Structure 1
C-alpha cells in the first residue's frame, strides 16, 4: 500500500479492481506503463483510499472517456463496470454502482499537474525516439501554433475564460486560447500553454513565452506571422533556437537595403523597440540593441493555390547552408500543425469541452493531449515495424483501431496478449495516408446542414417567453 493511501475496504470489488490493474490493458498498458503512472502519483503525493476509484483506475477511465465516441461520464463508468465484470469472481460478485457521482468526485481529486506531466512525458519520449524530419540538414524542428476551444456556459467558466466581447451576454460561450508546441517528425504535442481569449498577456506570443522551456539548443521553431517580432526572436536566440516564420505584414520589407544574399533575399538588422510593460528593466538591458535576421520572398508556382508569393523571416542566416528553396520547403511543413490540431479538435472532439469548472476544463484538455500522444506513440511503433514514417499513417484510422481492439479485449492468456498487440500494430500500419502535397480542393462541403434556429437571447428568457405565449 502506498504511503499516501488512507486505507480502504477488502472484498470482491477490491480484488477485481486489483486484478484489472495488474493485468493491464491491451494497448494503454503498452503505451502508458503502470509504473510511470505510479511514479507520477508518488511525485504529486496524491492521497487516496483503497476503494474502486484509485488514481490509476480513475486515470484509466478518464483516458478512455476522451478516446471514446461518446465522451460522457456515464459511458466511462459503464466501460469500467464491464471491465470489472470480466476480471471479477463470477456471478456472485456484487456489481458496483453505475452512478457517476463517485467517478466525477475521483476525477476532481486527480491533480491537474499529474495529468499534465504524463502528457508532456509521453510527448517528449516520442520526440526523442523518432528521427528528425530530414529538413534543414536534419535539425530538430518544432512548430508553435495557436487555436481556441469553447466550454459550457457556466458562471465559473465565464469568470475564468470570458466569452468574446462580440457575443451577446447569455448566448455566448466561454472561450480559451491555446498555443501548442508540436514535434514535426512525429506529431506529438510536447507542451501546451492556455489562457483567456482576450485580455492583457493572453495573446499567442505571450503564451509562447511559457513554452520556451520546451525548446532545446539546436532546435528550429516554425511559427506564424505573429511570432516574427524582436522579442520572440531574441528569446529564441538566447536559448540557441532558430526561428523560421511568415513575415509580419505590418513590417515593411525593402530588398534594396541590407546585405544581399540573392534575388529578394537579404540580411537586415531589427532594432530593439522600447521596453514593453511586461519586461523588467534588467531583462531589457541584457538584450542586444539589434538582431540580424534574414528576409526572403519565394514564389509559389502551384496552380490552384491562393498564395502566389510568400515572404519569410528567419535567423538561419547562412544562404550556403540553407537555401531559399530549403526554407520554403521547411515552412510548408508547418501546415502539419494545423492538421494535428484538427485531429485533436475534430477527430477527438476537443473543440467543445464538457466540464463545467475551469479546473476540470484544464484537466480535460490535458487528458485529451495525453490520449492524443498515446495514439501518436502507437502510430510511431507501427510505422517503425512497417518501415515507413509516423506521418504516413492515418490518425483517425489508428484511433478507430485502438478503440476497436480495446473493446474486445477481455482476459487473454499471456502468449495471446503479445499476439494481439502485434495484430494492433499490423492493423494500424495498413491505414496509410497518401502523399499528395499539391492537392487542390475547394474549401466547401456539398451536403447542406439542417436548418436550425439559433438562440439570440438567454435560454431562461426564451423558455419564459414560450410559457407566457402558451
Structure 2
C-alpha cells in the first residue's frame, strides 16, 4: 500500500485539478452514453418517472463530482443550473435537496455493474501484444478508505480499535482486481475494516468468480493460502505470489523435486483444522494435498502453480512478479490522484455508492487512455494516468465544440506523456518537505471547543 501524508495527498490531487475548477458533467454523460455502453446502461436503469435529475444524468453528475476539485453537491448543482440556463432550458433551483434525493434513488447495482461492465469492455478491446505468453494477468490487492465521522458510519464501519471515541474516522476495506495489461478495474469488494468478514481474504473470495480459466493471478503473501491456491487450481487458474509468512519459515529447498537452484516442487498437505468461514462440505471437498512450485528470487520466496521450468522459467516469473507493483500505482491513482482516500458521504449506503462512483470514474479515464493507445499503437499502461486526467479535465468544457479531427488530436495529446519503464525502482516511503505542525486532537472536537471557550472566559473574568 502507499502511505502518503495528508499534505502530500493534497499536493498531488491539487496538481491534477488546479487548472480546472469544474468538470463538465455533460461530457461525462456523453462518454457514458457511447454506443458501447448505452445499451448496458439502459438495461440496468430502474423504472422512473421524468424528473429534473433522471438516473443517467444523476449518475453523470455523481461521476463528475468524483473528478472535481470541489466535490460538494452545491458545486455540481450550480453547474447543472448554469448548463440549463446556457442551453435555453427552463431554469432550476440551486438548492441541493433534489439532487441529493436523486443520488439516494440510484441503485447501487447500476453503479457497480457499470464499473464491472466497463472494466470488461476495456479488457476485451485492449491489444494482446503485451499479454504474458498470450495469457491474461490479473492483480489483486487491498486498501482502506475513511469516511466522515458520523454515528451511522461508525455503526456500520467502526474506526480502528486503538483510537479513542471522537478522535478517529470510520474505515472500510476495499479489495480490487485489476488487469495488468490495461489497468482497468475488473471487480471490487467492500467490507468492514474491523470485525468478522472484513479481512482481505474473505473479500477476495466474494469476487473470485471474476477470474477465468487460463488467467494468472498476482498477489502479495497475504493471499497465498492453501484453500485459495487449491480453488484456483481447480478452476484452471495459475497464481504467482510471495510465500505466506507461516509457510516461509518452514520452506526447505532440499525437499521435494528439485527444478534448479532454490527452485523445487513440493506437496502441501491440507490444514487439519477447518477455517471458520468454510463449511464442512467445502472442507471435505478440498484436495488432501496440492503441488506447488517454490523458488527464491531477489531475497523473496515465491509460490506458483506454474510448474514447468522450461516454458515458465524462474527468471521470467521473477520479472512477471515485479509487475505486481502496477496495482500499487493503480491504488495511488484512485485514492490520492482522484481523492477517494477520504470520502464525503455521511451515511454508509451513500459512502459505498461513492466508492463505486470513484471506481467507475477511474474506469472511464482508463477507457480514454485505451482509445488514445489504440490510436497510436502503444500499450494503455504506457500512458500516464495523471496526464490523461489532466487533459480530460482541461478539455472537458471544449469537447462539444471540437470536430472529429480535433477530438483525434486531443487523444494524440493524451498519448504524448509516457510512463518510464523503471523495473526494480526503490523509493523510501517518506517526504523531504515537512508539513506545518498542528497539534493532534486528544479529545473530541466539541470538548476541545469547550476548553477554548472556558479558557477565554477565565481570562475575561
What TM-score results when the alignment is normalised by the length of structure 2? 0.89
In structure 1, what is the Cα distance between the partners aligned to 2:76 and 2:39? 21
CA–CA separation in structure 1 for the residues paired with 2:290 and 2:426 = 38
Q: Which residue of structure 2 aligns with residue 306 of structure 1?
A: none
SS in 2 for 1:235: helix
Contact 1:132 1:141 in 2 (8 A): no
Separation in structure 2 between the aligned mates of residue 146 and residue 387 of structure 1, nearest angstrom: 32
1:11-160, aligned counterparts within 5 Å? 25-26=26-27, 29-30=30-31, 32-33=33-34, 36-37=37-38, 39-44=40-45, 46-88=46-88, 94-132=90-128, 134=130, 136-160=132-156
Residue of structure 1 equivalent to 2:366: 376
Is 1:296 the counterpart of 2:295? The answer is yes
Change over 3 Å in CA distance of 1:269–1:343 after alignment to 2? same
User: For residues 418 and 42 of structure 1, what CA distance do their matches in structure 2 show?
Assistant: 29
2:285 match: 286
Choose from 184, 206, 210 the match for 1:210. Answer: 206
Cα 1:284/1:295, change in 2 over 3 Å: same
Partner of residue 261, structure 2: 263
Name the structure 1 match of 2:342: 352
Report the CA distance between 1:36 and its aligned residue: 3.7
2:33 and 2:378 map into 1 onto residues whose CA distance is: 23
- Going from structure 1 to structure 2, the CA distance change for 1:378 and 1:462 (only over 3 Å counts) comes to same
| Structure 1 residues 81 and 424: alpha-carbon distance in aligned structure 2, compared to 1, 3 A threshold | farther
Whole-angstrom distance in 2 between the partners of 1:246 and 1:441: 20
- Seen in structure 2, the aligned counterparts of structure 1 residues 381 and 34 have a Cα distance that, compared at 3 Å, is closer
Deviation at 1:137, TM superposition (A): 1.8
1:104-155, Cα deviation, whole Å (9 max, x unpaired)? 1110000111000100000011011113474642210000000001010011
How many equivalent residue pairs?
429
CA distance in 2 between counterparts of 1:345 and 1:32 reads 26
State how far apart, in whole Å, the 2-side matches of 1:438 and 1:151 are: 34
Q: Distance in 1 between matches of 2:140 and 2:415?
A: 28
Please tell me whether residue 187 in structure 1 is matched to residue 183 in structure 2.
yes
- Tell me if the contact between 1:136 and 1:326 (Cα under 8 Å) persists in the aligned partners: no
Tell me if structure 2 keeps the 8 A contact 1:244–1:315. yes
SS in 1 for 2:161: coil
Cα offset for 1:326? 0.7
- What is the rounded CA distance, in whole Å, between the counterparts of 2:449 and 2:154 in structure 1? 22
Aligned-partner Cα distance in 1 for 2:263–2:346: 51
Q: Is the 8 A contact 2:238 2:306 kept in 1?
A: yes
**2:252 aligned counterpart, secondary structure:** coil
Rate the CA distance shift 1:399–1:28 in 2: closer, same or farther, 3 A: farther
Could you tell me how far apart the structure 2 residues matched to 1:262 and 1:153 are? 54
Q: Is the 8 A contact 2:322 2:424 kept in 1?
A: no
Q: 2:314 aligns with which of 324, 334, 337?
A: 324
Relative distance call for 1:460 and 1:342 in structure 2 (3 A) is same
Q: Which runs of 5+ in 2 are unaligned?
A: 1-24, 457-461
Q: 3-state SS of the aligned residue for 1:250?
A: helix
Unaligned runs of 5+ in 1: 1-23, 300-308
2:383 aligned residue: 393
Answer yes or no: is 1:454 the counterpart of 2:440.
Answer: yes
CA contact (8 A) 2:182 2:370 kept: yes
The 3-state SS of whatever aligns with 1:291 is: strand
Q: Encode CA deviations 1:40-67: one digit per residue, 9 max, x unaligned.
A: 35435x2333121001110111111101
Return the TM-score normalized by structure 1.
Answer: 0.87
Q: Distance in 1 between matches of 2:101 and 2:39?
A: 20
Tell me the C-alpha RMSD between the 2 structures.
1.8
Match of 1:311 among 282, 301, 310: 301
